[in-house]
Amino acid sequence: MSDKAGQVIQGITEITLSSDFDDDDHLKPERINTEYVQEQRFKGVRRRFKIFNDTQLYYSLKSFKHKDNKQHRINLSYVNAHPERDCVIAWKWLSTAIATIVWSMLLMYVGIFTQYKADFIVIVGVLLGTFSMLAIMVFYYQTQDKLIYKSFVADIPLFEVTNHKPGNKEFDTFMIALRKHIEQGQASMSMHRRLVGELKNLRRIRDEGTISNEQYESARTVIFKHEAYQAK
């Protein structure tokens, strides 16, 4: 991760947004605050984060699994600073891997070192051992631990961060910086302004195809019903 405050983003002079309803029709990147890249090569997933102008986040996701590349901008002023953890462990494949490796070792022992030794028993043991390796790979591929950042009021998923254990210096530094920029963007902001800004931000990324129209309509209903929105 790099912290390059005050550096101009190369190759970008102006960003014209897709919706006139957005609070910033023309956004000029002035400085990069923080950059961070997460890459899981075996899973074919690469996430890139770039915080710029203090409150803006560029998020890109490349995934071989879904065959899609996502890239969009998010205003951190309307993001909940407390992400939701989504941890899925593929216990079925882990137990399958353990069971097959035990049977593989048992058959190899019987087929080589006992009175019942036979080539076909050894072959079955080798096949089971191979299958156990494949099961371990599937276990790793399907197991995931990620943090989902959502919009502050409407609770719409906006971007994800692969979770790491405490002690990963780059990850810890980025998470601290991310939270700092979220909280800075929300400082001294009234609830009404936050609601209006969140709705505009969600409409823009809906128009860009980042979230579905159903998600946007759900968010609009929640925001319109909020007492702070109705008070103005």
Q: What is the pLDDT of residue 66?
A: 64
Q: Average pLDDT by consecutive 10-residue portion of the chain (232 residues)?
A: 39 40 60 94 90 95 76 94 96 96 94 86 94 94 94 96 87 96 92 94 93 96 89 68
**Stated pTM of the model:** 0.79
Question: What is the DSSP annotation of 2-36?
Answer: B--TTBPPTT-S-EE-S-TTSS-SEE----EEEEE
Q: What is the pLDDT of residue 69?
A: 77
Q: What is the pLDDT of residue 67?
A: 64
- Do 56 and 74 meet the contact criterion of CB atoms below 8 Å apart? yes
